[in-house]
Amino acid sequence: MTYALEISALEKTYKGGFQALKGIDLTVKKGDFFALLGPNGAGKSTSIGVITSLVNKTGGQVKVFGYDIDTDLEKAKSFIGLVPQEFNFSQFEPLVNILVNQAGYYGVSKSVAIQRAEKYLKQLELWDKRDEPARALSGGMKRRLMIARALMHEPQMLILDEPTAGVDIELRRSMWDFLRELNQQGITIILTTHYLEEAEMLCRNIAIIDGGEIVEDTSMKKLLAQLDVETFVFDIKVGATLSELEHFSKQSPEIAYRVVDDHTLEVDLNKSQNLNQVFAQLNAGDIEVQSMRNKSNRLEALFVSLINNKKSDSKAKQQTVAVGAK
Partner 1 sequence: MNNSIALKSILTKEIQRFTRIWVQTLVPPAITISLYFVIFGSLIGSRIGEMGGFDYMSFIVPGLIMMSVITNSYSNVASSFFSAKWQRNVEEMLVAPVPNWVIVAGYVGGGMCRGILVGLIVTFVSLLFVDIQLHNIWVIIATVTLTSATFALGGLINAIFAGSFDDISIIPTFILTPLTYLGGVFYSISLLPEFWQGVSQINPIVYMVNAFRYGFLGISDVSLVTAFAVIGFFIVTLFTIAMVLISKGIGLRS
Interface characters, 228-247, with partner 1 (x: CB under 8 A):
--------------------
For partner 1, the binding residue among 1, 17, 40, 107 (CB under 8 A) is 107
> Which CB sits closer to partner 1, 28 or 307?
28
For partner 1, the binding residue among 61, 78, 231, 273 (CB under 8 A) is 78
For partner 1, the binding residue among 43, 49, 140, 212 (CB under 8 A) is 49
Provide the β-strand partners of residue 202. none
248 phi and psi angles, rounded to 5 deg: -60, -45
Please report whether residue 92 would count as binding partner 1 according to CB under 8 A.
yes
- In the complex, least distance from residue 237 CB atom to partner 1, rounded to whole angstroms: 54
- In the complex, least distance from residue 107 CB atom to partner 1, rounded to whole angstroms: 4
Please report whether residue 192 would count as binding partner 1 according to CB under 8 A.
no
HEC readout, 201-253: HHCCEEEEEECCEEEEEEEHHHHHHCCCEEEEEEEECECECHHHHHHHHHHCC
Beta strand 264-270 with 256-261 is: antiparallel
Number of residues that bind partner 1 (CB under 8 A): 37
> Stretches 104-112, 174-182, 261-269, 294-302: which one binds partner 1 (CB under 8 A)?
104-112
Contact 4, 30 (CB under 8 A): yes
Provide the strand spans (E) within the chain.
Answer: 5-13, 19-28, 33-37, 59-64, 67-68, 80-83, 157-161, 188-192, 205-210, 213-219, 229-236, 256-261, 264-270, 289-294
In the chain, what's the furthest Cα-to-Cα distance? 74
What does the alpha-carbon distance between residue 226 and residue 208 come to, in Å, rounded to a whole number? 14
What does the alpha-carbon distance between residue 6 and residue 27 come to, in Å, rounded to a whole number? 5
Instruction: Please enumerate in sequence order all residues whose Cβ is within 8 A of that of 253, keeping only pairs 6 or more positions apart, or say none.
Output: none
> Which CB sits closer to partner 1, 188 or 205?
188
Interface characters, 138-177, with partner 1 (x: CB under 8 A):
-----------x---x------------------------
Please report whether residue 115 would count as binding partner 1 according to CB under 8 A.
no
> Which CB sits closer to partner 1, 44 or 172?
44
For partner 1, the binding residue among 80, 207, 223, 306 (CB under 8 A) is 80
CB atoms near residue 322 (< 10 Å):
9
For partner 1, the binding residue among 13, 58, 101, 123 (CB under 8 A) is 101
Of residues 51 through 70, those in contact with partner 1 by CB under 8 A are 52-56
Using CB under 8 A as the criterion, which residues of the chain lie in contact with partner 1 when the complex forms? Answer: 14, 49, 52-56, 73-75, 77-78, 80, 82, 84, 86-93, 97, 100-110, 149, 153
